[in-house]
Amino acid sequence: MNGTDYFGDREILNDLLISEKHLSDAYNTNICESTSQAFGQILENILNETHKMHSDIWEAMVKRGWYKTRKASSQEIEMIKHKFEQLGNKHQ
C-alpha cells in the first residue's frame, strides 16, 4: 500500500462531517414533506441525533486543529444580521 491509498483520521472525520451534513439536509426535507405527524416525529428524533453526531465530529476536528474558524467582528455580525432581517421582511 502506498501513501495515497490510506485514509487517516483527518480524512475519515472530514468524510463523516460531510455525510452528517447531507443526512441533516435529507431528514429536514423529509420531515417537511412527511404525511404523518408520527413519522415526522420519528424523523425529527433521528435528525436531533444526527445533529449531535455532527457536533461531536466537528468538536473533535476543532480540537485537533483540522477545522479552523475565526471570530467575526461586531461589524461583520451586524452586517449579517441586517442582511437576514431584510430577507425576513421581504417574506412577510
pLDDT value at residue 4: 67
Provide Rg for the chain, Cα atoms.
Answer: 18
Alpha-carbon gap, residue 18 to 30, rounded angstroms: 19
pLDDT value at residue 38: 96
Q: How many domains does the chain have?
A: 1
Q: Which residues of 68-80 are buried (b: 16+ CB within 10 A; e: fewer)?
A: eeeeeeeeeeeee
Which ranges of the chain have pLDDT less than 70?
1-4, 92
Return the C-alpha cell found at 22. 447531507
What is the domain range of residue 39? 3-90
pLDDT value at residue 87: 86
